[in-house]
Structure 1
Amino acid sequence: MDETTLAEFEAKYEKIFALADSENPINKADIVNNTRGRVKRSKARNLIDRLKVHEHEVLLFMRDPAIPFDNDQAERDIRMVKLHRKVSGGFRSDDGSDAFCRIRSYISSAAKQGVDMFSAIYGAQTGLPVFMR
């Protein structure tokens, strides 16, 4: 994405935050009160503050195409465990579940490195993983 388009999106982001600030102000009465600890804020105010503090990270997917917009990959990574639990009712032992997760994690890491599943498994069996060379 070119810099002018990025600047336009960032300006829109700032406008949205200006509107959010005006519609969800910090309650001044709570600040004047001499109580100890943090001032209680609404969930909307907490979200606004968090998104404002992490603005760079929130918009990073626009600058770097390798960064996904969502966290669907993390959800897909745990999908096989959930499916196994659904189909067979779970694992018979903790060792079995540990082995299943270790193998799935290895195959998932290999796929993220661009290595096909069979080459990764063959590399693991021969002692040198393909994607760790």
Structure 2
Amino acid sequence: MTRMIFVNLPVRNLAASRDFYIALGGTVNPQFSDEQSNCLLLSEAIGVMLLTHERYGQFTSRPIGDARRETQTLLAINVDSRADVDSTVDRAASAGGRADPNPLQDHGFMYSRSIEDPDGYVWEVFWMDPAVASGEKPAG
């Protein structure tokens, strides 16, 4: 069995967050979605669980923080090309996200931009030269 990771996020507006994550490249898994939660698969091994504050509170007694004011994590997802970085950020921004809350990074062999979801969670969308990812040194 492939190991999976599920990022569980408390959200204020389930429908708006679902639309954002679909634009980010996710597909809804109806098996784990209902009126208080949506499961969006970003790949065969990566899922994002969007949970209303009420549902999220069933899993922890800690208060829910405000991701717009404090940072707790920085999430990153790769795409196939530099152009895909830009188109993914543009699609997600059109679906209620805020493009580039952090500076764009261009190191030649790696290119990334960030997108903030409707609740303030920041995702880095990045491309890395496949040769570098496999352990080869970047050209130049």
TM range (shorter): under 0.3
Give the structure with the larger strand fraction. Answer: 2
TM-score by length of 2: 0.20
TM-score by length of 1: 0.21
Structure number with larger C-alpha Rg: 1
- Which structure is higher in RCO with an 8 Å CA cutoff and minimum separation 6? 2
Give the structure with the larger helix fraction. Answer: 1
